[in-house]
Amino acid sequence: MLATINDVKTITGKIVNNQLVARAQYLVEAYIGKFEDEVTNTKDLEILKRAVSYQSAYMENNEDLVYEQMAVSTTGQNDAYTTFKAGDKMSPFIAPLVIIVCEKLTFFKSRSIKTGKILGDETFVDWVTI
């Protein structure tokens, strides 16, 4: 397990049980796209311990909502509204703190590549002609 019930209590101050921590870990693993045994970096493991702890605390009172599919694109209460769109990282299923800490994972970054010439040709104006 990435986090224990003692970790959850230390990090969030919430008291949960082992079954809830296990269910929270399954959701975090689904969100990051890796299983526990695939992560070997100690910094990443510490980040995931915090993520599982935050998700456990989030699910403590909202577990039914976490597993229900929202059939809306916008939800709100009073003056605050949230719009869910494709590619957006906000989700009612994942705790907002999990999204924030998982951005620090070494493997959870965008993977952009540079394209162009392999050998960069120097281009400059040659004022002297021989």
User: What is the Cα gyration radius of the chain?
Assistant: 22
* Residue 13 counted as domain residue: yes
Element (H, E) at 74: strand 74-77
Rounded to 5 degrees, what are φ and ψ at 67? -95, 0
Show the low-confidence residues of the chain (pLDDT under 50).
none
Name the domain count of the chain.
Answer: 1
Is 60 contained in some domain? Answer: yes
Please check whether residue 113 lies inside any domain of the structure. Answer: no
Whether residue 111 is contained in a domain is answered as no
For residue 114, is it within any domain? no
Q: Which domain holds residue 54?
A: 5-68+95-102
What pLDDT sits at residue 51? 96
Q: Give domain status of residue 76, yes or no.
A: no
Predicted model pTM: 0.71
Establish if 115 belongs to a structural domain: no
Instruction: Judge whether 64 lies within some domain.
Output: yes
pLDDT (tens digit per residue) in 24-61: 999 999 989 999 999 999 999 999 999 999 999 999 98
pLDDT attached to residue 113 = 64
Query: CA-to-CA distance for 11 and 50, rounded, in angstroms?
Result: 7
